[in-house]
Amino acid sequence: MSAGVLTPDQLQRERWRLRLRATRDFAGRYAKRPDGMVGALILLAFGVLAAAPEAFVGPLQTAVSAHGGRLDPPTAGFPLGTDEIGRDILNLTVHGARVSIVIGLLATVITVLIGAVVGIVAGFVGGRLDGALMRVTDFFLVIPTFVLALILTPIIRDIVGSGSTEVFGIRMTLIVIVVVIGITSWSSTARIIRGQTLSLRERAFVDRARVVGAGPGAIMRRHILPNVVNLIVANAVLVFAGAVLTETTLSFVGLGDPFQPSWGQLLEAARSVGAPGLGAWWYFAPPGASIVLVVFAFTLVGAALDDLLNPKRRARR
Amino acid sequence: MGGSFVLHRIGVATATIVAIVMLNFVLFRLMPGSPERVILHGTPRVTPELLEATRERWGLNDPLFPDQFVKYVSATVQGDLGYSFVARGQTVTAVLGQRIWPTILLFGLGEIVAIAVGLALGAYSGWRRGGVIDYIGNGVSLLLYATPYFLLGMVLLLLFGVALRWFPTFGMTTAGASYDGPLDALADLGLHLALPLATVALGLIGQYAIVMRSSIVETLSEDYITTARAMGLRDGRILRAHAVPNALLPTVSLVAINLGYVVAGAITVEVVFNWPGLGTLTVEALQARDYPVLQGVFLLLSISVVLANLLADLVYGLLDPRVRT
């Protein structure tokens, strides 16, 4: 291998071999983190529920198909009790997993996409563009973005109207929430990615690419991006936890969709019928515990990934 | 403190506030449906003449820029945020003025309690790293961090308000109560305050403890701590005189940055306990699509957060000469 030039075919194979080894290496190190593994297992369980809720509890119950009593405590027939119109809380919670997790994932994709593009471009291009982009980023970092999301959601909803179009099986009303979370929460991602890009820009391989004649677009795509992917992944996990919490809170103040209840929407419903005051703990405990578990698990996984992938942290140990 | 540092910070904060005011203008223009229809909402038999008169009266025939924009900015600067759609005849400023004090009371006290307990807990668990308190404290902090404020509120309400009946669960005072004296009234307020205050404080303690803990752990590996140990100083003195003051620095900016999130929590906690502050006002306005009030809330909360951040920056600069650049 050391003698002579590799053929493109060999080069490709060698690349895959190295990539596979790096992945296996990483998996080995991750498996040694008990907190990360606990988090991953919790997420796996909820992921399975979200992937096929019908397989576990049948189709989502509606006011028509509900057949339980009014706010019944848990019984053999309804292991988690019923809500104010007799729907099975277990059924609602499992279906809520799909809604909450899909919204969280979509919002994370938008957030990370905006944040990564802004961060890489600002860090690599530098100069005035960097100054301008960072001013916008700092603006979004300092203002209470939740309140902005609170105002933007009804305004955008009024603009796009309340059609019955669905994207990824999610109703338009909730897609608006996804977009609003995306455009209000990208700023910290952009900051982190920009910092890493700044240090990458000074590396020798970037200079070499430039000398060979690669344009700025190609350098950002082929040389900067692959080197910040680790950081993006670690950050995305934390962004997801935040997105789930934001969606929950937006739904709780009445911006959810009763026809496609997320966990936050269930909590809102529980509060508005006065479940805590009536002692109906079974109405809000299941969706509440689900949110806490999922966010907790994502925080654990995020911390583990951050320790393993973030070059700064790796250096410190 | 260097004058240019202070001036720069104040300049940035001012620019941010200007941007917030401009964003507010854009948001209002983004809304679908013409503003005159919003103004005339609920008026029977709208004639074209009335529509035109309204447009003229409210300056809607003027060009958006600069006329309408200048008018908007000068009104905003004078504290004129328009009229609430719902509370007819009341200005937004008056509505906000009535609802701001309960929020300040609840969150001011909540922050104080959380800072005191959170920092103490964080400092102790960082100091005794790997100890029992650290282990439990860390787990509890992470769990609290993952819990939405309102969920915590609902649990506390169920446990201490409904099951144990220790505290009232609704509003700020007992409806229709007559008090024997100011002390009696204060006791009633205190009872009503207990659960929402506990919710706010618990929600914040987790975050403050986590940051303070990692900050202490980092500080303890610094050379001057080793020096202090080598000088034979006692543990308690090293912690109080050397580790804690230095570890406090990052927490100062965290408290300020956090304010934005606290605001989100504020809104929901107030809803759970029907606390008559800005949070319940926001949700009422949201349900009634009372846009002027919503915008007023956005303006008020954003500017407060920016000012708090400015204050934190200046305090930080005062405490740590290294950042004064």
Q: Give residue A182's pLDDT band: very low, low, confident or very high (50, 70, 90).
A: very high
- Per CB-CB distance under 8 Å, the chain A contacts of B261 are 144, 146
ipTM for this prediction: 0.83
E strands in chain B: none
Helix A127-142 crosses helix A187-201 at what angle (to 10 degrees)?
Answer: 150
Please tell me the distance in Å from A279's CA to the nearest CA on chain B.
Answer: 6
Neighbouring C-beta atoms of residue A127, cutoff 10 Å: 8
**Averaged pLDDT score across all residues of chain A:** 86
Question: What is the DSSP code string of B17-73?
Answer: HHHHHHHHHHHHHHSSS-HHHHHTTT-SS--HHHHHHHHHHTTTTS-IIIIIHHHHH
Q: What is the CA radius of gyration of chain B?
A: 25
Neighbouring C-beta atoms of residue B243, cutoff 10 Å: 25
Which DSSP helix (H) or strand (E) runs through A167? strand A166-167
Most confident option among A99-103, A151-155, B127-131, B251-255 = A99-103
Question: Among all chains, which residue has been given the structure tokens 């009696």?
Answer: B184
Amino acid identity, residue A231?
Answer: L
Q: Do residues A262 and A248 make contact, with C-beta atoms less than 8 angstroms apart?
A: yes
- Per CB-CB distance under 8 Å, the chain A contacts of B31 are 155, 158
- What stretches of chain A show up as alpha helix (H) in DSSP? 8-31, 34-51, 53-57, 89-125, 127-142, 145-160, 172-184, 187-201, 204-212, 216-219, 225-250, 263-272, 275-278, 281-309, 311-316
Q: Do residues B119 and B206 make contact, with C-beta atoms less than 8 angstroms apart?
A: no
Amino acid identity, residue A73?
Answer: P
Q: Do residues B226 and B202 make contact, with C-beta atoms less than 8 angstroms apart?
A: no
CA distance B154 to B157: 5
- Please tell me whether residue A306 adopts helix, strand or coil conformation: helix
- Helix, strand, coil tally for chain A in percent (to 5): 75, 0, 20
Q: Give residue A102's pLDDT band: very low, low, confident or very high (50, 70, 90).
A: very high
CA distance B276 to B267: 11
Q: Give residue A317's pLDDT band: very low, low, confident or very high (50, 70, 90).
A: very low
Q: Output A132 or B87, whichever has higher pLDDT.
A: A132
A241 interfaces chain B, CB cutoff of 8 Å: yes
CA distance B215 to B57: 58
Share of chain A above pLDDT 70, in %: 95
Neighbouring C-beta atoms of residue A232, cutoff 10 Å: 21
- Per CB-CB distance under 8 Å, the chain B contacts of A291 are 146-148, 151
CA distance B11 to B34: 36
Q: Do residues A297 and A221 make contact, with C-beta atoms less than 8 angstroms apart?
A: no
pTM for this structure? 0.86
Could you tell me how far CA A11 lies from the centroid of its own chain?
Answer: 35
Give A168's DSSP letter: T
- Please tell me whether residue A312 adopts helix, strand or coil conformation: helix
A11 interfaces chain B, CB cutoff of 8 Å: no
For chains A and B, what is the number of CB pairs under 8 angstroms?
138
CA distance B90 to B281: 14
CA distance B293 to B280: 12
User: Can you give the pLDDT of all 325 residues of chain B as single tens digits?
Assistant: 567 888 888 998 999 999 999 888 888 776 665 566 666 666 777 788 877 877 777 667 777 677 778 888 888 888 888 777 777 778 888 888 888 899 989 988 988 999 899 888 888 888 888 778 888 888 888 888 888 888 999 999 888 888 788 888 777 777 777 777 778 888 888 888 889 999 999 888 888 888 888 888 888 888 888 888 888 888 888 888 888 888 888 777 777 777 777 777 778 899 988 888 898 999 988 888 788 888 888 899 899 889 888 888 888 888 777 766 5
- B264–A270: do the CB atoms touch at under 8 Å? no
- A292–B143: do the CB atoms touch at under 8 Å? yes
- Quick: pLDDT tens for A34-52: 888 999 999 999 999 888 8
Amino acid identity, residue B230?
Answer: A
CA distance A295 to A287: 12
Q: Do residues A284 and B148 make contact, with C-beta atoms less than 8 angstroms apart?
A: no
- B146–A295: do the CB atoms touch at under 8 Å? yes
Tokens of B222: 């610094």
- Quick: pLDDT tens for A55-74: 888 788 877 777 777 777 88
Average pLDDT of the segment spanning A252-256 = 89
CA quadruple A251, A302, B261, A175: dihedral, nearest 10: -30
- A281–B158: do the CB atoms touch at under 8 Å? yes
Q: Do residues B225 and B238 make contact, with C-beta atoms less than 8 angstroms apart?
A: yes
Amino acid identity, residue B129?
Answer: R
Peptide bond into B168 cis (omega under 30): no
Interface test with B, best of A100, A136, A151, A177 (most B CBs within 10 A): A151
CA distance A242 to A238: 6
Q: Give residue A111's pLDDT band: very low, low, confident or very high (50, 70, 90).
A: very high
CA distance A187 to B182: 48
A132 interfaces chain B, CB cutoff of 8 Å: no
